[in-house]
Amino acid sequence: MKQQSLFPTPLWTARFNDADQLTRWEDRVMVLKAADPIGVQLTNQGAWHSQTTLLQDPGLHELFGWIAAQVHGALSAWGWDLEQARPRFNNAWAVVSRSGDSHGAHIHPNSLFSGVFYLSAPSGSGAIAFLDPRAGALMLQPPLHREAAAREIGRLRLVPETGLLLLFPAWLWHEVELSSCQDPPAVRKVVARAFDHAGACGEEQCVVTARLSKLTSGSG
């Protein structure tokens, strides 16, 4: 029989390998945390969450520029018609989590795509898990080999890696497992509307997330 996939869920990955630049971006996130130690409370469970205005931060412009280039290439190859509209960021934020912190399952409303970029990913960084969006698929599950089960059923878990960028649909439910980073045990994350990216640093996990929620027409 011939097989075809209906309504596939895309997940893109890319890597940034300049360790010195990653450290500079990481340091900038920590400066923001020191200036606003309380932050905001959303899906972060114990983690520090920055304000959602990081797109305006001069110290992170190059970071978002690199991410935008990766997203542009991925979505263009995927089939996005750039002549009708171009993707753009809506907002962005950072998160720093200590050992034992996590993020509850969530999606990003009013967005098209989300992304996560790991500035640093020490051992014990909380893994990101993607949840099967097909409610009906969980009704009854067949016996599958391990590789097939990981691809087809329930929950896909990815361990963070330094410099790793993830891009996925904003409607895809995802969560971050408990961090067990030791000495210092923190996790940092930055998010921008339209797509998300996350990052971890040293013995802390540093994540940057952004969401692609709006379109701007024309070539600008």
Task: Give the integer Cα–Cα distance in Å for 40 and 49.
Answer: 5
110 CB-near residues (< 8 Å, 6+ apart)? 90, 193, 213
pTM equals 0.82
Q: Would you give the distance in Å from CA 49 to the centre of its chain?
A: 14
CATH code of 12-78+86-129+155-216, in short, is: 2.60.120.620
Residue 105 phi/psi, 5° resolution? Answer: -60, 135
Task: Give the integer Cα–Cα distance in Å for 160 and 125.
Answer: 7
What pLDDT tens digit does each residue of the chain (220 aa) get? 999 989 989 999 999 999 999 989 989 998 998 999 887 877 776 677 788 888 899 999 999 999 989 988 999 999 988 888 888 887 888 877 777 777 788 888 888 888 888 888 877 888 899 999 888 877 778 888 988 887 777 888 998 888 999 999 989 999 988 877 764 434 444 444 444 433 333 345 555 555 454 343 333 3
- Please give the sequence-ordered ranges of beta strands (E in DSSP) within the chain, or none if there are none: 12-15, 44-45, 48-49, 86-88, 92-97, 102-106, 113-120, 128-131, 155-158, 164-169, 174-176, 186-192, 195-199, 204-212, 214-216
Burial class (CB in 10 A: 0-12, 13-18, 19+), 42: middle
Task: Give the integer Cα–Cα distance in Å for 58 and 167.
Answer: 23
Tokens 């940092």 — which residue? Answer: 188
